[in-house]
Amino acid sequence: MKKDEKIYLSKVSDLGCIICYRLGYPGSFAEIHHIRGIGLGFGVRNSHYNVLPLCPEHHRGNTGYHGMGRKAFESKYEITEQELLDQVKEILNEKD
Ligand SMILES: [Zn+2]
Ligand SMILES: [Zn+2]
């Protein structure tokens, strides 16, 4: 991993969980979730940039991405993984 990728990943995890953020609780401790198979093709070549910050519950818990599976997760929170990725990038751009 290159240095700027590491910096990007730490910025993403510093944002806190993106689902908690959307639910009105910004800044919760977040793990990095890597998006697989999608997210390529809009100017992002490196998969280390296709990441979401998710707290342990929203990542691996019963209401989380891996606990529910992508489809159930996306319908529960009424947003796709891709749209979450876009939102993370928007928030990071606003911070810069
Ligand atoms: Zn969360
Ligand atoms: Zn994950």
pLDDT at 35: 87
Which ligand minimizes its atom distance to the CA of 54?
A: 1
Query: How far does residue 59's CA lie from ligand 2's centre (Å)?
Result: 6
The full 3-state SS of the chain, as one line of letters, equals CCHHHHHHHHHHHHHCCHHHHHCCCCCCCCEEEECCCCCCCCCCCCHHHCEEEECHHHHHCCCCHHHHCHHHHHHHHCCCHHHHHHHHHHHHHHHC
Task: Give the dihedral of Cα atoms 10, 80, 44, 6; nearest 10 deg.
Answer: 10
The pLDDT of residue 88: 96
Q: Write out the residues surrounding ion ligand 1, Cβ under 5 A.
A: 17, 19-20, 55, 58
18-66 pLDDT tens trace: 999 999 999 999 999 998 755 455 545 556 788 999 999 999 999 999 9
